[in-house]
Every structure is written in structure tokens, then in C-alpha cells.
Amino acid sequence: MDPCELVETGLKLSHRAGADEAEAFFLEHSSLAIEVRGGKLETLRQSKERGIGLRVLKGGSLGYAFTSDLSSSALTEAAQAAVANAACVTPDEARLFPAPADWDRALAQYDPAIAGTPIEAKIDLALGIEQAAFAHDRRITKSERAAYEEGEYQVAIANSHGLKAGYRGNFCGGYAWVVAEEAGDSETGSGLFYTTKLGELDAGAIGREAAHEAVRLLGAKPIPTQKLALVLPPQAATQFLGILAPALTAEAVQKKRSLFAGRLGEQVGAAAVTIIDDGTLPGGINTSPVDGEGVPTQRTTLVAQGRLENFLHNAYTAAKEGKRSTGNGTRSSFKGAPEVGPTNMFIAPGHAAPQELIAGVDKGLYVLDLMGTHTANPISGDFSLGATGILIEHGRFTQPVRGVVIAGNAITLLKEIQAAASDLRFYLGFGSPTLVLGPLTVSGA
């Protein structure tokens, strides 16, 4: 069935079940993942799934139900369940569905080359990533995994106010995770790259990056506890941004779960810090014409040179404050209502090359890998992460380091950012240039 007709049917059934207002969201998602190891195809996964989610308003309360069975009886049951769920939810006048607005079809990013390339060529791409890692250095002894992945989605949204939107998009990417061994020591390294254009995917670069990281860590040793400047390349810096992101949503602020609450207009970070969310970013992995509730996406400056300027909003959080949604009603599945979340969120780049910044560090730690980022407390911002990296002494890389712990708070850390380099790079939805922070205490042996 045509997605647009399907969401119209969903609306009709919701009204018939007793909804005052309704919204229907359809998502079809196909994916392909190819993993190779030791020059052989190890796993290939292919999928196609679709489903519909119904949000209904009844007496000021919102209820939700979904189904991946698209038969009319299952849709009818879902509509009735959504209305029944609304009955047990506390009414809230800020719950509303957005009005229709003009949206830009050109923001739907669809590369026909991704769907048009035969599967054999994609297997070769994954094999190429692995080969590049082995060819880079003879100390690369194992490949945990090298992979090619792609995704394609089709979205349709409609609500009782006459809002109608639909688009499709796709992306692809690859990654590698390899092990280097020498003199009884073994270290892992990873490389990862995702893009909306198949032509931009460079298998060799991904493999070499993983190999380079693993080899660099060979001979890593613990160091004593000390104060060190931290140099975070984009891969590590984006992990910190990921810890910070929830606190920049209006949802966290309104629910008193953000340490940024009540601080709009204040200096929350060093002057080197500008944080932007941009759902319209050309080539961004999360770029789309509209968000999960049909609101056009936009570019929002959250922190400008250290000053807190905005929070991310969806229709609900915006209505609570009499503001406009920033188009951040994110939705990754038909199984749940829109949340508030980042699209393409990044720390703006500075002008200096990363090498220049490293050369200016007297005593520091260049962080290659962080362990335990998912254990960071999203409410308090407190984190304590295991790290591996390379010691910087007098502007030069010296000893590889492992087994150290970096503890602190992601929010207070913003004030510690001394400089941002020019090398902005994205890891899926988060981007950052190389950052220099501190000095901070690094706990070691």
C-alpha cells in the first residue's frame, strides 16, 4: 500500500476509534550489513521492515500504539489501543500536533548509486577495508571485523491539521576493528566512516586508520597520576559531545534533568566553544526535510563562543514555553512517539591545524580511545572513563599509554576547552574538530 494512503487510513481509523485529533507516522526501513573477516564473507544481513505508529489526543491526553501488521484489523486494533492508552495518561494542554508548514524537498538525500550497486561490489568494498588494514603494517595480526553497511528509509507523516509530508533517503558506511601484536602486547584500533554518497566511501582510508591506531598503541603502559592537557581528536571529542547532547534539549531542561537549566544567555563554556545543531546540513547523516512530527528542520546555534543561546525543541517542549519547534522532534522508529534530540550536532572548527595545536602542548595526553562513555551520567554530566592514548611531551608524541582514568563533568569540561582545530569530522550524527583541554587530572597507576 502507498505510504501516503496508509497514514490517511491510520488517521481515519483513529478518529473512528474516538480520537479528538490524531497523527499517523509510517516508516519503512531497509538495511544491508556485510561483515568480512580473514578475506571471507562472514555475515550478510539484509532487512526490510515497515510499520505505523498512531498518536492520538483524547480529552487533552496523548496515547500511542504501533503495529507492524498493516492489515486493516491490526490497524483498527492499534487505533483503539491508542485511544485506550490516552485514557490513563494525565491531560496536558501542550500536547498538540504541529500545523502544516512549507518544507524543502531538496533536503531529502537519496543517492541512487547506493541501491544501484550490486551486492558483490559491496562485499569487495568490505574486503578492501580489511586488506588495507593488513597492508598498512605487518604487525596487524587479526581483524575482529571489517564491514560495509547501508540503510534506506521512506517516511510518511500526516495529522488532523492537514499536515502531510513524505520523503526517502539513504546512507552508507564502513568500519574496521583490528588488532596489532608485538612482543606479547596486543592492542585494538578502529576506523569508521559514514556518508550519504557511495562515491565518498574510501575503503583504504578506513582500513589504514584502524591499523594506524592499533599500531600506535603497541607498548602502551600505565602512567602515574598527574595533571595533563587533554588533546581529543574528533573521534574522542564527539563521544563527549554525545554525553553533553541530552542536556541541550528543552526536554531535559523542563524536566530539571539538565545542568544548563535556567542558564540561557550565560557563559557556559570557553570562548573557543561553539555548538551547532543542523538538520539541513548538506551531506549530514541525519539531514532530512522534516523532523519526526513533520516540522521543517533548521540550523540552531546552541552555544556561541561559550554563551548558551538555545535549546533543542520539538512541538511539545516548544508549546510549553510558547516557542517554535526547532525541528528536533526525532523519531528513529514507528514504535515510539517523537522525543527531542539532535540531528547533526557539532562543535564548530577553529583555524589552526591539529598538528599546530599539538606542537604547543608541553605535557598532554592525546586520547585515542575512551571506554565506558555509556556509563556517563546524562543528568549530572559526571563521567569517569578509561582511556588509551599517546603521551605528548614538549609538543611531541612520546609514550603510548593505557589503563588511565579521566574523571570529571562533561559540562564543566566545556570551560576547559583551550582551542578547537580546523579538522571538523563527523562520526554519524556528531561532529567535532580536535580539541585541546585542561590541564586535568589523569588517574593512573
Partner 1 sequence: MLLTKGDVETVLGEALAGGGDLAEVFVERRVTSTIALEGQRIERANSGLDQGAGIRLLADESSIYVFTNDLSLTGLKAAAQAASAALKEKTPGRKVIQLRPELAARPLAVTRGDLAAKVAVVFTAEKEARAGGDAIRQVMVSYGDSEQEVQIANSKGMLAADRRYRTTLVVNVVAGEGNEVQTGYESLGGTAGLELLTSDRVRELGARAARRALLLLKARPAPAGRMPVVLAGEAGGTMIHEACGHGLEADIVGKEMSVYAGKVGQRVASELVTVIDDPTLPGKYGSFSFDDEGTPAQKTVLIENGILKTYMYDLEWARRHGKDSTGNGRRQSFHFPPIPRMTNTYLAAGGTPPEEIIARTPHGLLVKRMGGGQVNPTTGDFVFDVAEGYLIENGKVTVPVRGATLTGNGPRALQAVDLVGTDLGFAIGTCGKDGQGVPVADAQPTIRIPELVVGGLL
> How far is Cα 231 from Cα 439, in angstroms, rounded to an integer?
10
Q: How many residues lie near partner 1 (CB under 8 A)?
A: 69
What is the per-residue DSSP string for 63-121? Answer: EEEEES--SHHHHHHHHHHHHHHHHTSPP-TT--PPPP----GGG----HHHHHS-HHH
Is residue 20 involved in binding partner 1 (CB under 8 A)? no
Is the Cβ of residue 298 or residue 409 nearer to partner 1 in the bound state?
Answer: 409
Least distance between partner 1 and beta carbon 59 (Å): 13
Residues 5, 49, 321, 362: which binds partner 1 (CB under 8 A)?
49
Binding mask 384-423 for partner 1 (x = CB under 8 A): xxx---------------xx-x-xx---------------
H and E: helices and strands count for the chain: 9, 20
Is the Cβ of residue 193 or residue 316 nearer to partner 1 in the bound state?
Answer: 316
Residue ranges of alpha helices (H) inside 331-396 are 354-359
Cβ-based neighbours of 112, under 8 Å, separated by 6 or more:
none
> How far is Cα 237 from Cα 430, in angstroms, rounded to an integer?
9
Least distance between partner 1 and beta carbon 387 (Å): 9
CA angle 314, 319, 320 (to 5 degrees): 105
Least distance between partner 1 and beta carbon 3 (Å): 15
For residue 316, what is its C-alpha cell? 511539545
Is residue 259 involved in binding partner 1 (CB under 8 A)? yes
For residue 393, what is its C-alpha cell? 611531551
Least distance between partner 1 and beta carbon 107 (Å): 28
Is residue 432 involved in binding partner 1 (CB under 8 A)? no
Distance of CA 184 to the CA centre of its chain: 36
Least distance between partner 1 and beta carbon 184 (Å): 12
Least distance between partner 1 and beta carbon 340 (Å): 13
Is residue 168 involved in binding partner 1 (CB under 8 A)? no
Binding mask 175-194 for partner 1 (x = CB under 8 A): ----x------x-x------
> How far is Cα 38 from Cα 430, in angstroms, rounded to an integer?
31
Beta carbons of 318 and 325 less than 8 angstroms apart: yes
Residues 8, 76, 89, 424: which binds partner 1 (CB under 8 A)?
89
Distances (CA, A) of 227 to 217, 223, 240: 21, 11, 19
Tell me which stretch binds partner 1 (CB under 8 A): 2-10, 282-290, 341-349, 369-377. 369-377
Is residue 69 involved in binding partner 1 (CB under 8 A)? yes
Least distance between partner 1 and beta carbon 310 (Å): 22
What is the per-residue DSSP string for 322-345? Answer: T----S-EE-SSTTS--EE--SSE
Residues in touch with partner 1 (CB under 8 A): 37, 40-51, 62-69, 74, 77-78, 81-82, 84-90, 92, 119-120, 123, 142, 144, 179, 186, 188, 225, 255-257, 259, 335-337, 371-372, 374-375, 377, 379-380, 382, 384-386, 402-403, 405, 407-408, 441, 443, 445
